[in-house]
Each structure stands twice: as structure tokens, then as C-alpha cells.
Amino acid sequence: MLHEGRSAVDWLLLIAFLVVLIISGAGVVALYRFVCKIRHEFQQHQPALRITNMSVMNAAEVVTLTPEVENMGPGVAHDCIVQLAGWEGSFAVKSIHPDGPRYQRHAVPIVLDHKAPIRLKLMSRCSLRLAYRDRWEQRYECWYPVTQIKNVRSALYDIQIDLAHPELTEPHPSFRTMWKLVRQTYTND
């Protein structure tokens, strides 16, 4: 009789353990789906500006670089700036839209004459910077390495920009921050 009572307690403990295990497993799966859904919704609002094409024109001692900037991501990029170290100017656009009805590719003329610092002297670290923000004011930057090559005929430096290997600086918010931002988006829309 004592053996039968103990066996019933063992079965009850085993059943309780299995119920807790099943409920915990379902909770983990539900939490995983929720996290994936929030991350996906967050990523649907992130822009990704890139320089997709570059043309170069040489005329006497003037070099004109024309990078084409376009938004490869699904979100709108705001406060977009293109800057080149050793170039006195900059290029700014209020917003660049992704592929769709408001899509537009922007050509940025960078004129470097014989007085431009990037053409006169060798710079320690030179890059073409593309900076922008997403709808939540988070900063993104894309740095393209620039190589200066001494031109033996003119004693000026010629410029080469490596479009294949940019350094990206992107925000990496926590899940809680992503959730707040996505919720804020749906509240404002």
C-alpha cells in the first residue's frame, strides 16, 4: 500500500513537470515570435544609403567626381550629407526615399581644382562620408576609403574612392528601444 501511494505521487510530479515544461516551451516560442516580429517591423523603417556609381572627369587640373547616392533600404533617409575630406563643400538633401513612387537617385558633383587641399598634400586618413538619419533621428554613417595617388606630370594628387569596402556606422538599439520606437511609429501614423 505504501508503494502504491508513492507511485501515485511520482506520477503526479512527472505530470506536473511535463505540464510546466510544455507551458514554458510555448512561452519561449511565443516570446521568440514576438521578438522576431518587432525586429522585422523595426528593420522595415531603416534606410540604407549607398554610393552605387561613381563617374570621374578630368579637365586640365580639375577633377570632378560624381558619386550617385541612392537609398537601398526600405525606410526613408533624412538629413543626408555627403562630405569629402579635403573638399571645401558638402552636399545635403532633406530626405531620400527608397524604391517606390518617390524614389530618386542623387548625383553629387565634387569639383576638385588645383587649390583643393586633398589634391595638394597627402592626408593621413581620407574618406568620403555619407551621413543620414532614420525616422527616429538615429545616426547612420557610411565611410568610403579614399586613396591619393601622386600624379607625376602635375605634382597634384589624383583621387580614387573604394566603393566596394565602406565602413558602416549604424545604431544597434536594444530590443526594448526597438519596441518603443515601433510602438511610437504606429501611434503617430
pLDDT: is 109 or 7 the higher one? 109
Cell, residue 12: 503526479
Q: What percent of the chain has pLDDT over 70?
A: 96
HEC string of the chain?
A: CHHHHHHHHHHHHHHHHHHHHHHHHHHHHHHHHHHHHHHHHHHCCCCCEEEEEEEEEEECCEEEEEEEEEECCCCCEEEEEEEECCCCCCEEEEEECCCCCCCCCEECCEEECCCCHHHHCCCCCCEEEEEEECCCCCEEEEEEEEEEEECCCCCCEEEEECCCCCEEECCCCCHHHHHHHHHHHHHHC
- 143-153 pLDDT, tens digit per residue, is 999 999 998 88
| 8 Å CB contact between 42 and 181 | yes
The pLDDT of residue 154:
85
Instruction: Return the pLDDT at 145.
Output: 96
Report pLDDT for 157: 92
Q: Is the pLDDT of residue 5 over 70?
A: no
Give the model's confidence band at 1: pLDDT under 50 very low, under 70 low, under 90 confident, else very high. very low
| pLDDT for residue 149 | 92
Whether the per-residue pLDDT at 25 is higher than 70: the answer is: yes
Segment 55-99, tens digit of pLDDT? 999 888 899 999 999 999 999 999 999 999 888 888 999 999 999
Question: Which pLDDT band holds residue 125 (cuts at 50, 70, 90)?
Answer: confident
Per residue in 165-180, pLDDT (tens digit) is: 999 999 999 999 999 9
The pLDDT of 124-145, averaged and rounded, is 94
7-16, 26-35, 100-109, 157-166: segment of lowest average pLDDT: 7-16
pTM, entire model = 0.82
